[in-house]
Amino acid sequence: MLDIAYAPPAEREEVAQFMNAVFIRAKWGIDRWRALLAGRWCGPEGRYAITVRDDGRLIGVLGLVYAERQTSHGPRTTADMTSWYVLKDYRGQGVGKKMLALATLDPDVTVTNFSSAKAAVNVLEKAGLRELDRERLVWHPSKEAGFEVHDDPLSLGDRLPAKDRRIIADHQGLRLRFLAVDTPEGLCTMVIYPQKKHDDYVTHEIMYLADQPLFARYARQIAASVLPSDAAILSLDRRFAREGIVCDEVRAFATPRYCQPGLLDPSEIDMLYSECVLLNIKIH
């Protein structure tokens, strides 16, 4: 009989070794898997994975990056799905559905999935996850008059709201750009993830945007200010775009973003506190 349960802290290393063995196309080693499962934003005793065992043998895992996010309605818990795998001999028996059912059971947790494989979409939707977004807005470099950019927002002291300071502090040491742009109407703070998705340019993905209406009013000037060269574009998921925003083009995702509906407004479900930044994966 199969046993499907949240993995206890003592099994972290076993789960990391399992992931390292089965995800043979991953371009990182065991230390990255350990970091993914370490509970960076929920503590070493927090939840980090669902496991499936057959008579004690580990045959499936579903990684979950739990975090307490700061939102406009106070702290809220999210769990980002990552690294889902069931050994081939156990597929087609509903094991994956049962794992998702357990992952989405807690009514106080919003489960997210920002990088699903196309083959998993049907399973996600049957588990109650809904499409969160399906396209991004893009800006190219321009000659617009730029604004002053602070690349160390924490140095601004009290000018930076407590929520932004917490978010930036939570993500120190990761491959991210933390920026605060001085606009005529105040600071526009953002966290950007540079990714080489295309040979000709680097995509600067906005992972967090503190003041979405302010960005919408000055999007072109902000893009001109933060893009480091002509070989770069700025990208923003549609759900963060407020009224009046103007972009250079709109691009569809290869696979939509997904989330569990109900607790959080889509505009507050950004891509920080997720596998994306912990594993340095490309966000398509």
Q: What is the pLDDT of residues 202-220, one digit of tens each?
A: 999 999 999 999 999 999 9
In the chain, % of residues over pLDDT 70: 100
Show Cβ contacts of residue 10 under 8 Å, excluding neighbours closer than 6 positions. none
DSSP codes, 105-119: --TTEEEEESS--GG
pLDDT of residue 262: 86
Q: Look up residue 280 and give its two tokens.
A: 């340095």
Helix (H, G, I), strand (E, B) or coil at 92: coil
With bands split at pLDDT 50, 70 and 90, how would you rate the model's confidence at 73? Answer: confident
The domain locations on the chain are 2-129, 136-256
Scan for tokens 């499409």, then name that residue.
131
Q: Look up residue 136 and give its two tokens.
A: 């991004």
Residue 230 above 90 pLDDT? no
pLDDT of residue 243: 95
Give yes or no for a contact between 76 and 69, defined as CB atoms under 8 angstroms apart: yes
Angle at 262 between CA 269 and CA 70, to 5 degrees: 40
Helix (H, G, I), strand (E, B) or coil at 229: coil
pLDDT of residue 80: 97
126, 224, 208: which is closest to 174 by C-alpha? 208
Show Cβ contacts of residue 94 under 8 Å, excluding neighbours closer than 6 positions. none
Angle at 7 between CA 71 and CA 280, to 5 degrees: 55
Share the mean pLDDT of the chain.
Answer: 94
Q: Give the span between the Cα atoms of 51 and 4, in whole angstroms.
A: 6
Residue 55 is which amino acid?
D
Scan for tokens 């993500």, then name that residue.
171
Give yes or no for a contact between 278 and 63, defined as CB atoms under 8 angstroms apart: no
Residues shown for the chain? 284
227, 63, 46: which is closest to 141 by C-alpha? 227
Strands laid side by side in the 232-237 sheet: 2-6, 49-54, 57-71, 74-86, 109-113, 249-259, 130-139, 232-237, 201-209, 186-198, 177-183, 148-150
Residue 145 above 90 pLDDT? no
170, 70, 86, 167: which is closest to 120 by C-alpha? 86
104, 130, 83, 172: which is closest to 269 by C-alpha? 130
Radius of gyration of the chain (CA): 20
- Terminal alpha carbon distance of the chain: 38
pLDDT of residue 41: 97
State whether CATH 3.20.20.140 applies to domain 2-129: no
Q: Look up residue 61 and give its two tokens.
A: 């895992």
